[in-house]
């Protein structure tokens, strides 16, 4: 372990019993089930934010059950206690990690536990996308497949993908939700062709999912072969009743090199977009960021920030970070002060 891993391991190991009890509370697990499944688990190793937890039961089915039932809860509790987003991997105590099992499931906890429907600011610019996302997450039946969500960077696509994943896993821990970026998907697809055992690993990873979330599909736009393969996989996912949700920075109709059947497969499902924040939504986001930073802003200041910096979340977050840097704790900042800060920082 490197020094960072050692520090994280030390902190988690020190609070291991507390973590296990919090997992029990998080999932409302009975004392009998706690003693059977959670209490015997041991923290074995942390490597590059992968948390390896040892299980006494020498059974792959038991490992799969632990992953589906407790993976998200352990990741969420660790995040809440230490502020670290980790990937939890269950293994048989003392044995070398089963690489195929790890590859098949390790991406689930890349879902940020803070990105939920409750933390998503809803407005005119994103209401339809929010409602479709929530409906897909709440309904056990597959209503629309695939779901294509698009919009410019910083408007909340990834947040909604994570919110869908978090909702499903919190309400049905037996479901397997796989979240990957398009670049990761392309890499996995290429490896499956190049390597002898690649095809089995690819199928194990993707075809065992109940819900597949693929972010930033625009990275496949100029890769004709990958588009063909992805179109084939869309058919396979649908036949296997795997819910597919993808995001991109543009409408799929702007994937000009895509084959017609790709267009048809996407059109078979449902498509929604996220547009630039309207004034009201932007002000709500500013209020939320300010509250999290302990900063009080007048309505005039919120309006000024919305008008000048309210196009997307990263812009708003950036300007609020600058205001935080120059603010005095518990001091109410007024328009004149904000204006001076923004003008000064704008010249840096």
- SS3 of 126, please? coil
Exposed, middle or buried, 266 (CB in 10 Å: 0-12/13-18/19+)?
buried
CA distance 134 to 209: 19
Provide the β-strand partners of residue 213.
179, 245
What was the pLDDT predicted at 348?
44
* For helices 224-239 and 182-194, angle between their N-to-C axes, nearest 10 degrees: 90
Q: pLDDT (tens digit, 9 = 90+) per residue, 211-221?
A: 999 999 998 88
pTM over 0.85? The answer is no
What was the pLDDT predicted at 267?
92
- pLDDT band for 27, please (50, 70, 90 cuts): confident
- The average pLDDT across 243-249 equals 95
> Rounded to a whole number, what is the distance in angstroms from the first to the last CA of the chain?
40
* For helices 279-293 and 313-326, angle between their N-to-C axes, nearest 10 degrees: 40
pLDDT above 60 (res 98): no
- The average pLDDT across 188-192 equals 79
Q: pLDDT (tens digit, 9 = 90+) per residue, 31-69?
A: 999 999 999 999 998 877 788 899 887 777 788 788 878
Q: Which residue has the higher pLDDT, 263 or 322?
A: 263
- SS3 of 130, please? helix
Exposed, middle or buried, 228 (CB in 10 Å: 0-12/13-18/19+)?
middle
CA distance 49 to 239: 35
Neighbours of 240 (CB within 10 A): 12
CA distance 114 to 159: 9
Tell me whether strands 42-47 and 50-55 are parallel, antiparallel or unpaired: antiparallel
Weakest-pLDDT range from 13-27, 210-224, 325-339: 325-339
- The average pLDDT across 178-187 equals 88
């Amino acid at each position: 372990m490197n020094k960072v891993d050692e520090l994280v391991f030390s902190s988690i190991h020190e609070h291991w019993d507390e973590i296990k009890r919090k997992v029990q509370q998080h999932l409302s697990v009975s004392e009998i089930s706690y003693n059977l499944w959670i209490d015997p688990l041991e923290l074995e190793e942390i490597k590059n934010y992968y948390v390896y937890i040892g299980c006494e039961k020498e059974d792959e089915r038991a490992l799969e059950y632990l992953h589906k039932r407790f993976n998200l809860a352990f990741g969420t509790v660790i995040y809440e206690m230490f502020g670290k987003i980790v990937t939890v991997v269950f293994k048989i105590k003392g044995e070398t990690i089963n690489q195929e099992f790890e590859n098949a499931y390790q991406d689930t906890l890349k879902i940020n536990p803070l990105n939920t429907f409750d933390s998503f600011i809803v407005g005119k610019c994103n209401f339809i996308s929010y409602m479709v996302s929530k409906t897909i997450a709440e309904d056990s039946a597959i209503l629309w497949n695939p779901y294509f969500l698009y919009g410019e960077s910083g408007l909340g696509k990834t947040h909604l993908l994570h919110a869908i994943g978090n909702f499903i896993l919190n309400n049905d821990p037996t479901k397997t939700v796989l979240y990957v970026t398009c670049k990761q998907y392309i890499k996995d697809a290429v490896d499956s062709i190049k390597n002898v055992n690649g095809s089995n690993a690819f199928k194990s990873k993707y075809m065992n999912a109940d819900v597949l979330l693929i972010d930033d599909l625009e990275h496949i736009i100029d890769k004709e072969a990958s588009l063909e393969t992805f179109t084939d996989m869309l058919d396979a996912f649908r036949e296997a009743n795997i819910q597919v949700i993808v995001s991109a920075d543009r409408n799929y109709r702007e994937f000009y090199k895509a084959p017609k059947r790709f267009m048809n497969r996407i059109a078979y499902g449902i498509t929604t977009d996220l547009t630039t924040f309207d004034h009201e939504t932007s002000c709500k986001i500013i209020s939320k960021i300010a509250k999290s930073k302990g900063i009080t802003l007048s309505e005039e200041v919120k309006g000024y920030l919305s008008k000048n910096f309210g196009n997307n979340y990263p812009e708003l977050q950036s300007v609020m970070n600058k205001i935080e840097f120059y603010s005095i704790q518990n001091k109410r900042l007024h328009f004149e002060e904000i204006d001076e800060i923004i003008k000064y920082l704008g010249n840096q």
